[in-house]
Amino acid sequence: MTSVAHAKPAGGAHDAHHAPMSFWRKYIFSTDHKIIGIQFLFVSLFFLLVGGLLAMQIRWQLGFPGKPMPGGGILPESMVSGGVILPEYYIQLVTMHGTFMVFFAIMPLLVGVYANFLIPLKIGTHDMAFPRINMWSFWLALLAGLIMLAGFFVPDGAARCGWTMYAPCSARPDLSGATYSQQLWSISIVVLGLSSVMGSVNYITTIINHRAPGMTWFRMPLSVWALFITAILAVLALPVLQGAAIMLLFDQTIGTHFFDPGAGGQPLLWQHLFWFFGHPEVYILILPAMGMVSDIIANGSRKPIFGYHSMVFAIIGIAFLGWIVWGHHMFMSGMNPTLGSTFMVSTLLIAVPSAVKVFNWMGTMWRGNLRFHVPMLNAIGFVSMFTIGGLSGIFMAATPVDIPIHDTQFIVAHLHYVLFGGSLFALFAAIPYWYPKMFGRMMSERIGKLHFFLTFIFYNMTFFPMHIIGMGGQMRRIYDPTIYDFLKPQQPINEFISYSAFALFAVQILFAFNFLWSLKFGKKAPQNPWEDNGMEWSLPNPAPHGNWDKTPNVYRGPYEFSAPEAGDKDYLPQYVKLPTDRDPIPAPLSAGGH
């Protein structure tokens, strides 16, 4: 057994052959996938903050209904009167919190940032297949976000019918009480859909055609697999939402009747279209998180991922089942109950691939040599919290049990366990993990650990009790639960949740500080700080424009941790050529195309 020489790989540190670019071309209207990823990162972190601030106001109102909100005075009288949140502002808050978090924070954070940043780096190519379309995808996403944000500044305030925009509420200004912002919502979604489709076309094409020699399908890291399947979901789901949003926009503006029951329109049609998009969207929001967590857990455990193939098939299975479960959002909608039975079965089946993933992550940790760096801690947090979110989903999937908990805080708890406990913990793992690759510096481990433990505690204190008040029957999106006799006894829990939520928000300041401070003062990152196997670690930090000078070769799968050939090291990167390795045979057709 020869010991592996971890020689400096054939990375291209020099930009010499690239013409020097102006600041604008390099950092603003950049076509470099890494810069675009970083642009997405800053923009979506901003929208994450917006969504968080909205959530804090929701929590104030639910914890202390009718009491003047501290600092509420800075908001206009049409939203907050005498410090008291008005009911019409409250429904704007819940609507925009959901909209921003789903469409402008989590989705771009996972897909916009990490699909852009990781795909070319991890498959060993120089850039996306269509760099200019990629740039447009970012600018359209930003435009969509700004249009959505503009909703707060038009007369009557932001859109108000819930992030699902159920018609006819959303279609008729006299019923929602808002005109312009409802239209802005529709326009923003159409623009965002365009951005998403552009991005996804890019991701799919790049992954299919631009993999480096030797990067076979089953040598791709699970993060790339997940992003690939996610892109397929996005490319097929977003246009459906776009179509629906266009119909809604026409209902709102030129007086068409798609969702107007008075003229034969069908309110349930909106729900079917929305959830036909919406359920794949749920997986768009979790699959990339699963993929990245898989990479990080394998790294932290110093072990190959347990059951790589079944992990891939689980991703595909989840994505496939994701198309035939949309009706489970509509069990109580008046849809034919027989359809409900069908959707129940398909929904319950989704638990199977999800369970496989959880057990495989555990299998990966089993007999590993666990390193608890911040990404690993957050990844373990992801597994344990996603498990709760997944299991609580079974309650809703079983239709009779769904009856009392549908549209209650139980659902709110469930979706936050998946989206916060799942997606956001995965991001808290992914951001520090690839931070050195983006900025050349490490985020502080000490602050990171403190942030993880505090977030984990307050997060559970915030969202777990929501299950209980949901079981007690507290409906979603109600402004003041205390007017109901059956909800009054639960008010102390609501208060407790609010305090926890404020603490949770406060803890995120640690993360923001860590993120921003490390940009300038973080420890300089070594080339492969996590001793990982991915192709991206063959490059210097931050990775240069164009990535590699020469397309790299790939010699093995992505998870060869603790492989016997690795000798005294416990990792064996994909780019390292052992004496026993032969170079891959070049593809018969030039894969690049141009």
Partner 1 sequence: MKGRIFSVVGGMFLLTVCSKGDGTVQAAPPAAQPAVPTADVSAAGGTITGKVKFTGTAPRNPAIDMSEEAACKAKYKTTPTEENVVAGPANALANVFVYVKAGVPAGQTFTAPTTPVVLDQDGCRYHPHVLGIMVGQPLEILNTDPVLHNIKAIAKANRPFNVSQPTAGMKTTRTFAAPEVMINLECNVHGWMHAYAGVRPDPFFSVSKEDGSFTITGLPPGTYTIEAWHEKFGTQTATVTIAGTETKPANFTFAAH
Partner 2 sequence: MQTTTMTDAMRPPVPAEPGAGVYSNKLGMWVFLASDVMFFTALIGSYIVLRFGMATSWARPGAVLNVPLTGLNTFLLICSSVSMVKAYAAIADGKKYFLRKVPGKTLQDGGLKFWMLITIICGAGFVGVQVFEYIKLVGHGFTPTGYREGSVLAEHALADPVKYGAGVAGMYGSTFFTMTGFHGFHVTCGVISMLYLYFTKVLPEKYSPQDYRGIEVIGLYWHFVDLVWIILFTIVYLI
Partner 3 sequence: MRWWLPDAGSTFARPIDTLFLAILIITGIALVVVEVGLVTFVIKYRARPGRKAFYTHGSTRAEVIWTAIPAVTMVALGLISNHYWVIMKDKKSIPPNAYHLGVHAKQFEWQVTYPGADEKLGTSDDFTVRNQLHVIVDQPTAVELTAEDVIHSFFVPEWRVKQDAVPGMHITAWFQATKTGEYEIGCAELCGMGHYKMRARVFVHTPDEYKAWVAQQAAGGSE
Which of positions 101-160 make contact with partner 2 (CB under 8 A)? 129-130, 133
CA 525 – CA 300 distance, rounded (Å): 18
Q: Which residue has the tokens 């992801």?
A: 382
What are the φ/ψ torsions at residue 65 (nearest 5 degrees)?
-60, 130
The only residue of 476, 505, 567, 584 in contact with partner 3, by rule CB under 8 A: 476
**CA Rg value for the chain:** 24
Q: In sequence order, what are the residues at sequence separation of 6 or more whose Cβ sits closer than 8 angstroms to the Cβ of residue 429?
A: 292, 293, 296, 374, 375, 376, 377, 378, 379, 381, 382
Q: Which CB sits closer to partner 1, 434 or 479?
A: 479
User: Judged by CB under 8 A, does residue 82 bind partner 1?
Assistant: yes
CA 415 – CA 101 distance, rounded (Å): 12
492 binds, among partner 3, partner 1, partner 2, none (CB under 5 to 8 A by kind): partner 3
Of 417, 484, 388, nearest to 62 (Cα)? 484
CA 103 – CA 237 distance, rounded (Å): 13
173 binds, among partner 1, partner 2, partner 3, none (CB under 5 to 8 A by kind): partner 1
CA 321 – CA 313 distance, rounded (Å): 12
User: Judged by CB under 8 A, does residue 254 bind partner 2?
Assistant: yes
Locate 179 and state its tokens.
């005109």
3-state class (DSSP) for residue 165: coil
User: Judged by CB under 8 A, does residue 304 bind partner 2?
Assistant: yes
Quick note: the x/- pattern for partner 1 over 47-66, rule CB under 8 A, is -------------------x
Minimum Å gap between C-beta 80 and partner 3 is 14
Q: Which CB sits closer to partner 2, 22 or 338?
A: 338
66 binds, among partner 3, partner 2, partner 1, none (CB under 5 to 8 A by kind): partner 1
Locate 25 and state its tokens.
């071309």
The only residue of 103, 180, 452, 511 in contact with partner 1, by rule CB under 8 A: 180
184 binds, among partner 3, partner 2, partner 1, none (CB under 5 to 8 A by kind): partner 1
Quick note: the x/- pattern for partner 2 over 178-217, rule CB under 8 A, is -------------------x--xxx-xxx-xxxxxxxxxx
155 binds, among partner 2, partner 3, partner 1, none (CB under 5 to 8 A by kind): partner 1
User: Judged by CB under 8 A, does residue 480 bind partner 1?
Assistant: yes
Quick note: the x/- pattern for partner 1 over 422-461, rule CB under 8 A, is ----------------------------------------
The only residue of 27, 218, 372, 453 in contact with partner 2, by rule CB under 8 A: 218
User: Judged by CB under 8 A, does residue 150 bind partner 1?
Assistant: yes
User: Judged by CB under 8 A, does residue 254 bind partner 1?
Assistant: yes
User: Judged by CB under 8 A, does residue 340 bind partner 3?
Assistant: yes
Q: Which CB sits closer to partner 3, 25 or 477?
A: 477
Stretch that binds partner 3, among 38-46, 215-223, 401-409, 413-421 (CB under 8 A): 401-409
Q: Position 380: which residue type?
A: I
CA 189 – CA 148 distance, rounded (Å): 8
The only residue of 7, 70, 155, 309 in contact with partner 2, by rule CB under 8 A: 309
The answer to whether the CB of 227 falls within 8 A of the CB of 114 is: yes
The only residue of 29, 46, 81, 162 in contact with partner 1, by rule CB under 8 A: 81
The answer to whether the CB of 296 falls within 8 A of the CB of 429 is: yes
User: Per CB under 8 A, which of residues 87..146 are in contact with partner 1?
Assistant: 87-88
Strand (E) or helix (H) holding 472: none
Cis bond upstream, residue 168 (ω within 30): yes
Cis bond upstream, residue 542 (ω within 30): yes
CA 472 – CA 201 distance, rounded (Å): 45
The answer to whether the CB of 540 falls within 8 A of the CB of 525 is: no
User: Judged by CB under 8 A, does residue 457 bind partner 3?
Assistant: no
The runs of H, that is alpha helices, within 86-220 are 87-99, 107, 116-123, 131-150, 173-176, 180-209
User: Per CB under 8 A, which of residues 542..581 are in contact with partner 2?
Assistant: 557, 563-565, 580-581
User: What residues are paired with 84 via a beta bridge?
Assistant: 81
Q: How many CB atoms lie within 10 A of CB 310?
A: 17
CA 405 – CA 396 distance, rounded (Å): 7
Locate 136 and state its tokens.
């447009």
Strand (E) or helix (H) holding 522: none
CA 569 – CA 566 distance, rounded (Å): 6
User: Per CB under 8 A, which of residues 490..549 are in contact with partner 3?
Assistant: 490, 492-493
Q: In sequence order, what are the residues at sequence separation of 6 or more whose Cβ sits closer than 8 angstroms to the Cβ of residue 378?
A: 296, 425, 426, 428, 429, 452
User: Per CB under 8 A, which of residues 272..331 are in contact with partner 3?
Assistant: 301-310
The only residue of 58, 94, 247, 535 in contact with partner 2, by rule CB under 8 A: 247
The DSSP line for 69-97 is: PTTGGGS-TTTEETTEEPHHHHHHHHHHH
User: Judged by CB under 8 A, does residue 264 bind partner 2?
Assistant: yes
Stretch that binds partner 1, among 15-23, 177-185, 407-415, 451-459 (CB under 8 A): 177-185
The only residue of 56, 101, 187, 240 in contact with partner 2, by rule CB under 8 A: 240
User: Judged by CB under 8 A, does residue 173 bind partner 3?
Assistant: no
Q: Position 561: which residue type?
A: F
Minimum Å gap between C-beta 391 and partner 3 is 4
77 binds, among partner 2, partner 3, partner 1, none (CB under 5 to 8 A by kind): partner 1
User: Per CB under 8 A, which of residues 272..301 are in contact with partner 2?
Assistant: 272-273, 276
User: Judged by CB under 8 A, does residue 258 bind partner 2?
Assistant: yes
Q: In sequence order, what are the residues at sequence separation of 6 or more whose Cβ sits closer than 8 angstroms to the Cβ of residue 119?
A: 33, 128, 203, 206, 207, 224, 227
Minimum Å gap between C-beta 231 and partner 3 is 26
Query: Angle at Cα 554 formed by Cα 548 and Cα 560, nearest 5°?
Result: 120
Q: Which CB sits closer to partner 2, 543 or 563?
A: 563
Interface residue list for partner 1 (CB under 8 A): 66, 76-78, 81-82, 84, 86-88, 147, 150, 153-157, 173-174, 177, 180, 183-184, 187, 253-254, 479-480
Interface residue list for partner 2 (CB under 8 A): 129-130, 133, 197, 200-202, 204-206, 208-218, 235-240, 242-244, 246-247, 250-251, 254-258, 260, 263-266, 269, 272-273, 276, 304, 308-309, 557, 563-565, 580-589, 591-594
